[in-house]
């Protein structure tokens, strides 16, 4: 086996840590129908408390498993579990974790737990609501830990259902439109993922769905390019990439704050993770040829998302458009075909997950008090909500990549990855950096102008008596802002988790660089 491959043949652990991480939230969801009906007095508290308890236990299990057993100096899969689940269709219960998946599993565990804590006031159909949150937690974990393509695809599809229902039932006035648009975009894109994955599994002789075995296969002719494009569109909808992003502002605009935390903090990261796992790891030759196109799409995302944010008078829709812009940096890092660029893409996913979740949560707190998300209808809130303002400003500064915040470290790492890659011509690198810098200039303008209008605009008398953050909301906010500052001042806190794996992935790309990008971009 090639030593540069980001996979290994570690022995199966005695204790099924990863299976327990995936299945524990489902256990909590199965308890929900046994609870009293929502109409009973205070019956909404039991589902909420059970969900928070199970999600807290699941997150503690992640910390215990990865803290004690995960070796971040190893690039390959660890804690591998393989069970021949449904042999006649080749489906295995195959789980494993490496540096690419471990930090995203931890991120999803934290964000989902905080999302449940943010759902404190959910009373209508609370049993269903928290059962869906728990089911979503299991599906997310399975996406990041699956090492069988069909199992991955089933988890990818499964997580669509809870999100659709959470938006359609507990969303705003146009919730059905937003939820339907979300499911149509993502479900149709999933067909391309399935077709591309099965094409790879059927090629090259022996049929296999195991991702490690797919990585070792060679794909001749145009098959690799076609499957790469299928994966790019399929995963790009979730990322999201332009022009497949239009479901995101609608979904965020209608979803409640806890669901928006999940959308921005976890679901978008599934797209970036899948691009690394399938497009880069399994199809390195195709990635080398199409990496310049990926960078161009990333530039469009950055600039278009930032410009579109200016047109939004709804706080959540403006933050959603900023997410489109910030995920463009993930595409830049992945397209850099460089260890530094891929490392920056990973750090950007972690950083954006924390920052966006914080912004949507804090937005939800002042929506509960003001009952509006319209920027022109708010003003002067800094005097009324000083603590809320402090946290919203801190998350905005992190989002605009202020030095000392995680956003700065991730974006500067991606820029360094682009500039240090000799496979690109100097002209291509210069144009890329110049256009991406436009996004960096626009971001503080639309974020700080929003802060000014919401918190320092003309004071609206109807909003003069609202209360500031309570202790529960303060703890949730701190749980998101503290890691953002910690990564900003001590990036190794996050980088050490994945660096060995991203370096191995970059080395794998370099060993397949016979179709040099320099030949594609050379200028006579």
Q: Domain of residue 138: give its range.
A: 17-521
Q: What is the pLDDT of residues 203-222, one digit of tens each?
A: 877 888 999 999 988 887 78
Confirm whether 1 is domain-assigned.
no
Q: Work out how many domains the chain is built from and give that number.
A: 1
Query: Is the pLDDT at 459 greater than 80, yes or no?
Result: no
Q: What is the pLDDT of residues 285-336, one digit of tens each?
A: 899 889 999 999 999 999 999 999 988 889 999 999 999 999 999 999 999 8
Q: What is the pLDDT of residues 125-142, one digit of tens each?
A: 889 999 999 999 999 999
User: Whole-model pTM above 0.85?
Assistant: yes
Q: State the residue for tokens 């060993």.
A: 511
Q: Cα separation of 352 and 318, whole Å?
A: 15
Q: What is the pLDDT of residues 486-505, one digit of tens each?
A: 999 999 989 999 999 999 99
Q: Cα separation of 420 and 415, whole Å?
A: 9
Query: Is the pLDDT at 269 greater than 70, yes or no?
Result: yes
Tell me if residue 84 falls in helix, strand or coil: strand
Confirm whether 61 is domain-assigned.
yes
Q: What is the pLDDT of residues 43-53, one digit of tens each?
A: 678 899 999 99
CB neighbours of residue 454 within 10 Å: 26
Confirm whether 4 is domain-assigned.
no
Q: What is the pLDDT of residues 228-267, one digit of tens each?
A: 999 999 999 998 998 899 999 999 989 999 999 999 999 9
Alpha helices in 311-405 (DSSP H): 315-335, 339-370, 381-384, 386-399
Q: Cα separation of 286 and 223, whole Å?
A: 9
For 52, residues 6+ apart whose C-beta sits below 8 A from its C-beta are 113, 116, 117
**Average pLDDT score, the chain:** 88
Q: Cα separation of 65 and 103, whole Å?
A: 12
Residue 520 pLDDT: 46
Q: Residues 239, 268: contact at Cβ < 8 Å?
A: yes
Confirm whether 11 is domain-assigned.
no
Confirm whether 12 is domain-assigned.
no
Q: What is the pLDDT of residues 351-377, one digit of tens each?
A: 999 999 999 999 999 888 888 888 888
Q: What is the DSSP string of 141-152?
A: HHHHHB-BHHHH
CA distances from residue 403 to 252, 347, 377, 379, 485 in whole angstroms, order as listed: 28, 15, 32, 28, 10
Q: State the residue for tokens 């609608």.
A: 250
Confirm whether 10 is domain-assigned.
no
Torsion sign over Cα 198, 203, 205, 206: negative
Q: Cα separation of 484 and 479, whole Å?
A: 9
Confirm whether 9 is domain-assigned.
no
Q: What is the pLDDT of residues 79-129, one digit of tens each?
A: 999 998 888 887 889 999 999 999 999 999 999 999 999 999 888 888 999
Confirm whether 6 is domain-assigned.
no
- Look up residue 515 and give its two tokens: 């179709």
């Amino acid at each position: 086996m090639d030593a540069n491959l980001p996979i290994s043949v570690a022995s199966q652990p005695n204790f099924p840590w990863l299976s327990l991480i995936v299945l524990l939230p489902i256990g909590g969801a199965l308890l929900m129908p046994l609870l009293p009906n929502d109409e009973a007095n205070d019956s909404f508290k039991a589902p909420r408390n059970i969900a928070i308890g199970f999600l807290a236990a699941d997150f503690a299990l992640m910390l215990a498993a990865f803290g004690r057993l995960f070796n971040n100096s190893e690039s390959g899969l660890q804690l591998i579990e393989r069970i021949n689940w449904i042999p006649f269709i080749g489906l295995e219960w195959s789980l494993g974790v490496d540096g690419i998946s471990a930090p995203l599993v931890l991120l999803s565990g934290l964000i989902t737990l905080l999302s449940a804590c943010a759902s404190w006031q959910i009373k209508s159909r609370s049993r269903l609501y928290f059962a869906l949150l728990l089911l979503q937690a299991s599906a997310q974990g399975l996406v990041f830990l699956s090492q069988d393509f069909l199992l991955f695809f089933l988890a990818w599809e499964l997580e669509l259902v809870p999100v659709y229902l959470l938006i359609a039932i507990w969303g705003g006035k146009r919730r059905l439109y937003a939820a339907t648009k979300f499911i149509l975009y993502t479900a149709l894109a999933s067909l391309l993922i399935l077709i591309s994955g099965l094409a790879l599994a059927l090629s090259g002789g022996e049929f296999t769905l195991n991702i490690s075995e797919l990585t070792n296969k060679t794909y001749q002719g145009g098959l690799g390019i076609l499957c790469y494009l299928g994966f790019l569109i399929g995963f790009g909808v979730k990322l999201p990439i332009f022009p497949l992003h239009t479901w995101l502002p609608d979904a965020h605009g209608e979803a409640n704050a806890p669901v928006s935390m999940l959308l921005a903090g976890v679901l978008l990261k599934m797209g970036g993770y899948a691009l690394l796992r399938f497009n880069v790891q399994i199809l390195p030759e195709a990635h080398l040829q199409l990496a310049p196109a990926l960078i161009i799409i990333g530039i469009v995302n950055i600039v278009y998302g930032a410009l579109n944010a200016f047109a939004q008078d709804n706080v959540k829709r403006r933050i959603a458009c900023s997410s489109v812009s910030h995920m463009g940096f993930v595409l830049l890092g992945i397209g850099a075909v460089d260890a530094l660029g891929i490392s920056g893409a990973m750090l950007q996913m972690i950083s954006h997950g924390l920052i966006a979740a914080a912004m949507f949560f804090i937005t939800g707190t002042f929506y509960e008090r003001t009952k509006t998300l319209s920027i022109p209808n708010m003003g002067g809130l800094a005097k009324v909500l000083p603590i809320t303002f402090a946290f919203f400003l801190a998350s905005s500064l992190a989002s605009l990549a202020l030095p000392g915040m995680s956003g700065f470290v991730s974006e500067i790492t991606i820029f360094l990855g682009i500039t240090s890659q000799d496979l690109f011509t100097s002209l291509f690198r210069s144009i890329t950096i110049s256009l991406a810098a436009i996004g960096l200039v626009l971001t503080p303008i639309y974020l700080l102008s929003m802060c000014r209008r919401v918190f320092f605009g003309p004071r609206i008398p109807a909003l003069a008596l609202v209360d500031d953050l309570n202790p529960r909301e303060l703890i949730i906010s701190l749980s998101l802002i503290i890691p953002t500052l910690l990564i900003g001042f001590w990036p190794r806190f996050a980088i050490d988790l994945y660096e060995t794996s991203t370096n191995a992935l970059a080395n794998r790309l370099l060993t397949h660089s016979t179709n040099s990008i320099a030949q594609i971009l050379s200028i006579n």
